Chain A
Amino acid sequence: MSVVPNSEVQLLGQSNAVQTILSDVDCAARSGAKVLITGETGVGKEVVARLIHLRSARAAGRLVTVNCAGLPDSLLESELFGHVRGSFTGAYRDKPGLLEMAPNGTVFLDEVGEMSTRMQVVLLRFLETGEIQRVGADRSHIRVNVRLITATNRDLPKEIAAGNFREDLFFRLNVIRMHIPPLRERIEDVPLLFDHYLDYYCQQHRVARPQVSPGALDALMAYRWPGNIRELRNVAERLALKSSGQVLRPGDLPTEVVKPADRFEAAAAEGAAAAPSTSSPVEDLTGRMLRHGESFWSVVHPLFMARDLTRDDLRRIIEIGLENTNGNYRLLVALYNMPNEDYKRFLGFLRKHNCHLPFQRFRTIASRAQQTRPVAAAG
């Protein structure tokens, strides 16, 4: 398990969500009660657990992290509770468990939703008695004073309904609940986080810190960030490594950020499933731009000028693009594989043919549209 210096444990963000979490962290730190942290992968669950520990009266004690995923049952039990010599092959001596290793400290059980039902019972019993029974021992031998913080990216109430997680355990662990929303629900945090990590990695790799163009920032804010802050951090590091100190433009960003093809393909697949009609020229053309990197100027422009495409077709193509860029035209230029310098020319072209759609409605419906609205059904 990696050791993170305390100075690195910080929860950055200016969104209301992060501010609420920070005040809840203080509240949780004061109280000493069990905390359950929920949220998607990479949102900062471990950061929150560390902060609670560091700000609590147990900060002088240790914080021990145990990941419940991927360990076979018997191993997890012996990790947590220890074992006595001879309790299984390879147990040559008595070994204390991690719960014993953090007296007056905190134990962070990560991915607690992955625990087997048998381990859930063992944990339930421990919470009741506070006593540790090492694997292979015939009685509990020691009481420990630890605080338990748990985390999961699963929907535990759903797991309870499906019979995979014990409801009584859930309510015991869930005394204080902290939910960390995904980054795409607090995009106002993106500029701050990106700046921070770009600074950090440029310093670390001793490269010149590039400026970020407004278009690139827009692209970063329009992206869905399925891997949340961990992913943003990785993108910042990749860019720092490539950086020559030049201004970062949308074209410099990783393709998955600028061309969220997954989103488009998922939406297109959904649309196709909903209406198994023959594929329209609009779909073909947008597909060629989004998936095959062909440019708007070579794919759409000539057809439109030759009147093989109607004005409605063109509008639809712009609409699909804007749905993918959160209503951002600069980004649309990159999405449809035009150089940044073509921005004015592109807008001029759309205006001239009365196909410049107001971007506002894509802003407001964007997050919903990206998730649920099939592209083909929108027009």
Chain B
Amino acid sequence: MSSEPSAPAQHGTIVVVDDDVSCLVAVEQILRHWGLETRTFRAFEDARAYLAHARPAVVIVDVRLGNYNGLQLIHFSRQHSPETQWLVVSGFDDPVLRNEATKLGAAFLTKPLDLQRLREYLPGGHT
């Protein structure tokens, strides 16, 4: 936290949460390449602590995060950051979890990520 400039201008920030480092790095690189400000988290707890206060534009979260389900982060952040767009990604297309995600207003994407689709959910994606 301390290494960051303390500007609360998080409106453009894209958060990526995935415990699989290779996925995490790949997505981060693509987002940076697209010129988007990106923050990454490998651990549920760290992401949770950050999202308790932050109001990012978009959060891309993996369903399977060790002992936790990425969907839980949506529940924790919804109240204070209702405008955040959530993208839930999973290696498995589980209809029950897809349904849970949709009920929460999140998009559900399966891995490997379709970059075209991903872009649609990001700031400037429609232009």
Contacts and interface: CB of A to CB of B under 8 A. Distances in A.
B94 A171 contact: yes
B69 A177 contact: yes
A121 interface: no
A172 B94 CA distance: 9
B75 A171 contact: no
A125 to B, nearest CB: 10
A333 to B, nearest CB: 41
B96 A176 contact: no
B116 interface: no
A176 B72 contact: yes
A171 B68 CA distance: 8
A177 B95 contact: no
A177 B72 contact: yes
A176 B67 contact: no
Interface in B59-74: 63-64, 66-69, 71-72
B97 interface: yes
Interface in B83-108: 92, 94-97, 100
A157 B72 contact: no
A128 B96 contact: yes
A157 B75 CA distance: 22
Given A27-B75, A27-B76, A31-B75, A174 B96 contact: no
A145 B6 CA distance: 46
Contacts of A159: none
Contacts of A179: 67
B71 A33 contact: yes
B67 A28 contact: no
Contacts of A175: 69, 71-72, 97, 100
Interface string A170-184: 011011110100000
B69 A174 contact: yes
B75 A28 contact: yes
Interface residues of A, number: 17
A256 interface: no
Nearest to A38: B67
Interface class of chain A by DSSP: helix
B62 to A, nearest CB: 11
Nearest to B78: A31
A33 B75 contact: yes
Contact of B94 (A27, A157, A168, A176): A168
Contacts of B94: 168, 171-172
A133 B39 CA distance: 46
A325 B72 CA distance: 40
A33 to B, nearest CB: 6
A177 B45 CA distance: 12
B67 A157 contact: yes
Contacts of A30: 75, 79
Nearest to B77: A27
A33 B100 contact: yes
A9 interface: no
A71 interface: no
A127 B68 contact: no
Contacts of B63: 171
A177 B73 CA distance: 10
Contacts of B97: 171-172, 175
Given A27-B75, A175-B100, 20 more contacts: A27-B79, A30-B75, A30-B79, A33-B71, A33-B72, A33-B100, A34-B100, A157-B66, A157-B67, A168-B92, A168-B94, A171-B63, A171-B64, A171-B97, A172-B94, A172-B97, A174-B67, A174-B69, A175-B69, A177-B67
Interface of A: 27-28, 30-31, 33-34, 127-128, 157, 168, 171-172, 174-177, 179
Interface of B: 63-64, 66-69, 71-72, 75-76, 78-79, 92, 94-97, 100
18 contacts: A27-B76, A30-B75, A31-B75, A33-B71, A33-B100, A128-B96, A157-B67, A168-B92, A171-B69, A172-B97, A174-B68, A175-B71, A175-B72, A175-B100, A176-B71, A176-B72, A177-B68, A177-B69
Which 7 residue pairs spanning A and B have beta carbons closest together?
A31-B75, A174-B69, A176-B72, A172-B96, A175-B69, A175-B71, A127-B96
